[in-house]
């Protein structure tokens, strides 16, 4: 069981215990008071649960985030005076990644409504949101505000929270990935767009490599009258098409969009038995060719065998062909999805022994272990750093700023993804309505799916990971 599954199991166990206690309390009210009182309170308790207790938050809001950034990147002499960030003489170009550590304490209203820090004084105001009841160290993303920070013109104020103590500021200067050859590794169709549409749509040269067809959980297509396996095959074909067609919206050449067609949630089994084929869970398929037939590039795995060795051979062939300077892939610590973990490991394994090595690895997280709402806040807002509760090797943050027009293009790219189009279940729609009415949360203007809110933001956040360039033997083929 991975960490996220363990956290979710604990969360559900605690919720069941809480519901049992509430039920016993209601029964006691029915015995000691009017019989109708617990009946009347049941819908009120359900509404309160949906409004304030339905978030999957698997840590205490009073826990500090823990990041260990290099001392050389810290800007000394920073202070917060009357809400204005005071910074000593600082030379910036404007595209640096800036991270500000602050201590936040929620007000009593900050336990009912989402507390946030408002940033004013840059070209555009920002509002970065945190957990209800927050009381601890958090990290703001000031990327895109470099000029205002250097001029000591950036103003910070809390909404439903207070900023305490002295802040700390780190400045990271990295090469502009948009000026390099970029390969985005997407475990599923839409992962590249969620994590890196702003980056890959502006890059000098881009390759999009999608590893799986994403064919499972096809109940939406079964409503058309299809059997489960037929629905899975249809969904896989649609998502395979999406992975090849949607990057064209961003100008990626057709020949540089590749769908490998392996089966969803089967990468861990493939890795465990690298020379054995692993069939689809739901599509009644043991041949990947149905999902990779639209590729224009011939690859070693075109024999259709869904094995780990074929996946590695495909990746090595693509790396030799594309020779990317930057590889964008799931973060090895932050993103717990099994296919994402295996995708990152497959790339590192494929790189071992290759003559061509990337200059930079950028990690992304489309899923988190312990907070399903991150990045918190509304579409268009900044992306504060995610929760990290213990010191781990994270890499340095690399934040790319997206203007409004680029955010709109990214939203349209996500809207073309079939997996983000179906309506939410009724329970989730009711939860959204209750939260909008009682807690002030706003729906994304771009679509119902939660990824429209989480991914269409003013920042795309990556982490510069250790390059494998000097590990293993070098293949001189």
Helices (H), 101-227: 146-150, 191-202, 219-222
Q: Give the strand order in the sheet containing 459-465.
A: 257-262, 205-212, 181-186, 326-330, 360-364, 459-465, 396-401
Residue 115 in contact with residue 43, Cβ under 8 Å? Answer: no
Q: What is the pLDDT of residue 100?
A: 98
Residue 264 in contact with residue 339, Cβ under 8 Å? Answer: yes
Q: What is the pLDDT of residue 470?
A: 47
Residue 355 in contact with residue 472, Cβ under 8 Å? Answer: no
Q: Residue 103: enclosing H or E segment and its boundaries? A: strand 97-106
Residue 339 in contact with residue 311, Cβ under 8 Å? Answer: no
Q: What is the pLDDT of residue 395?
A: 94
Q: What is the DSSP string of 424-462?
A: PPHHHHHHHHHHHHHH-----SS-SSHHHHHHSSSEEEE
Report residue 391's pLDDT band, with 50, 70 and 90 as the boundaries.
Answer: confident
Model confidence pLDDT, tens digit, residues 404-458:
999 999 999 999 999 999 999 999 999 999 999 999 999 999 999 999 999 999 9
Over the chain, what is the mean pLDDT? 92
- C-alpha 67/C-alpha 64 separation (Å) is 10
- C-alpha 115/C-alpha 161 separation (Å) is 6
Computed on alpha carbons and rounded to an integer, the radius of gyration of the chain in Å comes to 24
Q: What is the pLDDT of residue 38?
A: 67
Q: What is the pLDDT of residue 475?
A: 42
Model confidence pLDDT, tens digit, residues 137-165:
999 999 999 999 999 999 999 999 999 99
Q: What is the pLDDT of residue 2?
A: 62
Query: Residues near 12 by Cβ (< 8 Å), separated by ≥ 6?
Result: none
Q: Which of 201-215, 266-280, 384-398, 456-470 has the lowest mean pLDDT?
A: 456-470
Residue 349 in contact with residue 312, Cβ under 8 Å? Answer: yes
Mean pLDDT of 316-322: 98
Q: Which residues of 413-433 are buried (b: 16+ CB within 10 A; e: fewer)?
A: bbbebbbbeeeeeeeeeebbe
What pTM was computed for the model?
Answer: 0.92
């Amino acid at each position: 069981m991975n960490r996220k599954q363990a956290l979710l199991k604990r969360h559900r166990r605690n919720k069941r215990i809480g519901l049992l206690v509430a039920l016993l309390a209601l029964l006691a009210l029915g015995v000691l008071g009017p019989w109708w009182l617990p009946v009347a309170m049941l819908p009120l308790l359900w509404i309160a649960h949906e409004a304030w207790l339905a978030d999957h938050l698997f840590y205490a809001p009073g826990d500090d985030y823990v990041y260990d950034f290099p001392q050389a990147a810290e800007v000394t002499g920073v202070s917060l005076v009357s809400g204005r960030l005071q910074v000593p003489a600082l030379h910036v170009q404007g595209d640096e990644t800036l991270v500000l550590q602050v201590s936040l304490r929620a007000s009593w209203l900050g336990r009912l409504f989402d507390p946030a820090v408002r940033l004013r004084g840059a070209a555009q105001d920002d509002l970065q949101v945190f957990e209800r009841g927050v009381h601890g160290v958090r990290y703001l993303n000031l990327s895109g505000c470099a000029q205002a920070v250097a001029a000591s013109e950036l103003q910070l104020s809390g909404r439903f929270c207070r900023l305490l103590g002295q802040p700390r500021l780190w400045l990271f200067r990295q090469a502009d990935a948009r000026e390099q050859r970029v390969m985005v590794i997407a475990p599923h169709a839409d992962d590249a767009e969620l994590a890196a549409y702003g980056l890959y749509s502006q890059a000098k040269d881009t390759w999009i490599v999608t590893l799986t067809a994403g064919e499972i959980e096809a109940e939406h297509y079964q409503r058309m009258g299809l059997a489960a396996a037929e629905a899975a095959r249809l969904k896989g074909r649609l998502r395979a098409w999406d992975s090849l067609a949607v990057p064209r919206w961003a100008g990626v050449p057709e020949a540089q969009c590749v769908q490998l067609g392996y089966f969803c949630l089967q990468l861990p089994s493939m890795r465990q038995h690298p020379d054995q084929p692993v069939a689809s869970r739901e599509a009644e398929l043991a041949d990947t060719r149905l999902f990779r037939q639209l590729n224009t590039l011939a690859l070693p795995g075109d024999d259709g065998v869904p094995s780990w060795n074929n996946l590695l051979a495909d990746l090595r062939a693509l790396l030799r062909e594309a020779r990317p300077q930057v590889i964008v892939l799931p973060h090895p610590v932050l993103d717990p999805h099994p296919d994402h973990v295996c995708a990152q490991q497959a790339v590192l394994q494929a790189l071992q022994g290759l003559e061509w090595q990337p200059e930079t690895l950028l990690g992304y997280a489309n899923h988190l272990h312990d907070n399903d709402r991150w990045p918190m806040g509304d579409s268009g807002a900044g992306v504060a750093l995610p929760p990290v509760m213990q010191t781990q090797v994270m890499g340095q943050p690399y934040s790319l700023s997206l203007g409004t027009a680029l955010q709109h293009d990214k939203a349209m790219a996500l809207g073309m993804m079939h997996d983000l189009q179906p309506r939410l279940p009724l329970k989730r729609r009711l939860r959204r309505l209750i939260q909008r009415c009682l807690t002030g949360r706003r729906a994304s203007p771009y679509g119902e799916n939660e990824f429209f809110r989480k991914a269409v933001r003013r920042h795309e956040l990556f982490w510069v990971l250790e390059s494998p360039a000097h590990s293993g033997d070098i293949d001189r083929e």
